[in-house]
Structure 1
Amino acid sequence: MILELADIRIQPGRQADFDAAIQRGVETVISQAKGFFGYKVNKGVESPERYLLMIWWETLENHTVDFRESPAFAEWRAIVGPFFAQPPQVEHFTLLAKSAEPR
């Protein structure tokens, strides 16, 4: 399993609209992609324009090829892209260790 971590910075003052857009985009577009396993979005406390989007994929290629090279990627970017202050920083990770789920 691969974790995609996208560090997203949006334009100031657009948080409420982006909150709805990112959830809609993942639930209606990305969740339909081959190899999608789930997601989580965290919102910055000290930096309210910063979001961390975590998406779990079966393989790296499910994200980098199957999704990124499909028409669905353009659909996703049309939903969230207008909010970006700069291009998101995206990296991929594999799991090394894990604790029990937080309560």
Structure 2
Amino acid sequence: MILEVAILKVIPGQETAFEQAFAQASTLIASMPGYRHHQLQRCMEQPSQYILLVGWDTLEDHTIGFRGSPQYQQWRALLHHFYNPFPTVEHYQQVYANAC
């Protein structure tokens, strides 16, 4: 599994609208082949900052499958205007896990 990680800096004052748009956009990403799970968390110290974590079966499920899809165009239209600056997205592979 691949973990997509994005730090999202939302324009201050737009947090509620962003969260509402994200709830709508969530159905788009969840419908994609190779999708496993996602979560959005809001920073306590910087309330305009969020972290998005998305689990994918493969890197290509995200970079080619999702980003090359019509659903991504809808995702972009719903969310990308909230970011300043535009987020950097990185991908991680698990090295170690401790089950609690």
Alignment TM-score, normalising by the size of structure 1: 0.91
For residues 97 and 24 of structure 2, the distance between their equivalents in structure 1, rounded to whole angstroms, comes to 29
* Residue 17 (structure 1) shift: 1.2
1:98 aligns with 2:97: yes
- Residue matched to 2:18: 18
Tell me the alpha carbon deviations over residues 16-73 of structure 1, each in whole angstroms, 9 at most, x when there is no partner. 11112112212x2100111000001110111111110000000000000011111111
For residues 88 and 73 of structure 1, the distance between their equivalents in structure 2, rounded to whole angstroms, comes to 15
RMSD: 1.1
- 3-state SS, counterpart of residue 78 of structure 1: helix
For residues 67 and 31 of structure 2, the distance between their equivalents in structure 1, rounded to whole angstroms, comes to 13
Report 1:62-73 matches (<5 A).
62-73=61-72
Amino acid at match of 2:20: A
- 3-state SS, counterpart of residue 40 of structure 1: strand
Amino acid at match of 1:46: E
Runs of 4+ aligned residues of structure 1 deviating over 4 Å after TM superposition are none
The gaps in structure 2 that reach 5 residues or longer are none
- 3-state SS, counterpart of residue 85 of structure 2: coil
- Residue matched to 1:86: 85
- 3-state SS, counterpart of residue 29 of structure 1: helix
For residues 96 and 57 of structure 1, the distance between their equivalents in structure 2, rounded to whole angstroms, comes to 16
Q: Once the two structures are aligned, what percentage of the paired residues are identical?
A: 35
